[in-house]
Structure 1
Amino acid sequence: MTAESRLLSLLGMLAVGRTYSATELAAHFGVTPRSIRRDIASLRELGYVIESIPGAAGGYRAHSRTVLPPLQLETGEALATAVGLALLNGAGLGTENADSATAKLRAMLPPAVRETVGEISTSVSVLPGHEPGVDMTAVMTTTSAIASRNILTFTHEKRKATGSETLQRRVEPVQMVVLGAHWYLYAWDLNRSDWRVFRLDRMSQVHETTFAFTARDHPDAEAAVSSAVTTAAYRHTVILDVDASVTEAKSWFPTRSATITKTGGGARVEFGVEDLTWAAVITAATPVSFRVVEPPELLSALQGLGERATRVSRSGSSRAE
């Protein structure tokens, strides 16, 4: 490999956001750490911002705003990228950078393909009031911190029945999870010394620090977010065992509102509610046999619902005779 080819490959490795030590890079390219240091110096002379991270877990990393050399994309690759940007804009998550990138990519495409991308960009829209409300700068900063294993700081709005409060957070970010209409961050909260779930649209002043952290063993991020959103946030947790497959159960209890797992004889459904009367309605509408595991108070709510339904079926009115 020539020195020029090594520089381009080195830049590509660093630009993904991961931190590499000189020893790692030297082993990868089959050169000495001294050669890597010279390559880093050459990239800096060319204007690329390469950060040096101190400490045992430190090394080199390209700055998040480094401008990369022009990508050589095949037609299919350019089309896939342009379609992704068009869908991003259509979903209400566009940015000025996405617009300019789309314009450059469309200019690369053959006329027929360029027209297809233009049609896609106008065929996706979001109804007013249903925009994700996610700041893409915050998304990019958060994903960079996750990839680099750097501590993330931000201001988070916590909403309660009595109002809301804004708190400063300092976390070790693990993963972003999209559930339903919202984006969530799963992270180790250094202030609380515990795992926490944060909604991205309630995060502001998001900042990636230069303080690296060592990854911890952690629960499954998707399961943790699902549990936090579908059960932990509510007064009552309803647990049902249904005589159906997980796939069938998902058609009655969407995963954005319930956690569904496989059991020996069917599926277990867990969801949170504030009002057990409403839970009784949802439960009674389940079209297969089921058993109430928790809470026992749901049985009383189901009995009350049954009596009410009986009155309506007999007289057409829910009023007691």
Structure 2
Amino acid sequence: MTDTPARLLTLLSLLQTPREWPGSELAGRLRVSTRTIRRDIDRLRELGYPVEATLGAEGGYRLVAGAAMPPLLLDDEEAVAIAVGLRAGAGHAVEGVEEASVRALAKLEQVLPGRLRHRVSALQSATTAVVRGDGATVDPRTLTTMASAVAGPERLRFAYEARDGVRTRRLVEPYRLVSTGSRWYLVAYDLEREDWRTFRVDRVAEPFATGARFAPRALPMDAVEFVRRGLHGRQTYPVDVSFDAPAEALPGWLREGAVPAGDGCRVRFESGDSPDWQAARLALTGLPFTVHAPEFLAAAARELAARLSAAGAGAGAAAGQG
């Protein structure tokens, strides 16, 4: 193989498999001399790939963990598997990695060949995700379009449906995607309204990047805080709940602000979620808890407990009849 760039890519693909490669075997695979293999290994190291060499009659090479992650080469099956996994998780954020996962999906889909993009879409359409909360879901393509526009940065157009059902067309300068755990929000500067706005991504339709670049404006505060303030201005309520567990056992969204109380801890926070979803979210912690306020949230928790108890009793009766 005389084409040096192609040979380096092939060599890198071999080294990214979890094994040690003798120099002679690599030379045989690439139809070059072991001396050429040594030179190619040096080139990969210069590019930031941490290739480790072992001593011995044959000598061997393997790719090891380094201080930074260099680009990876993926075969077709690996690329499809990663894209499907990222798409499946995009609509239901995982705490701490939500925005990074969308950025990764946007980068991967940008370079995915058409034949693989078709396979990813086919697999995605053939699967069904468990819907959480109020049933609002997000099209992963919407998220990746927005993430790419944020990274551009590039102006974005889309159709938007407000809470009252009014539909409008928006032209914005996207700033950041923010996940609250149950929903995605886009923080952007609305050019027609000449002000910062927060948009629920599940209410966005037909987004497309216009190709017009812009110099990002300075948001008056942190994007997460901007979303929180926007939510708190819309029908929020204070929650007071105690857990029969230490604060360290709580998920991250509850841990901040938790204070010791008896053998467990107590948490107070503001919620903009529906009482049913907030009760379900507390139950999903898997920890025993008591809602002290508000009463409508305590009632929602009791109703949820009753429904789950009835479902369990029904399953037990069916098993007994069988």
The bucket for the TM-score relative to the shorter chain is 0.3 to 0.5
Taking structure 1 as the reference length, the TM-score comes to 0.43
Taking structure 2 as the reference length, the TM-score comes to 0.43
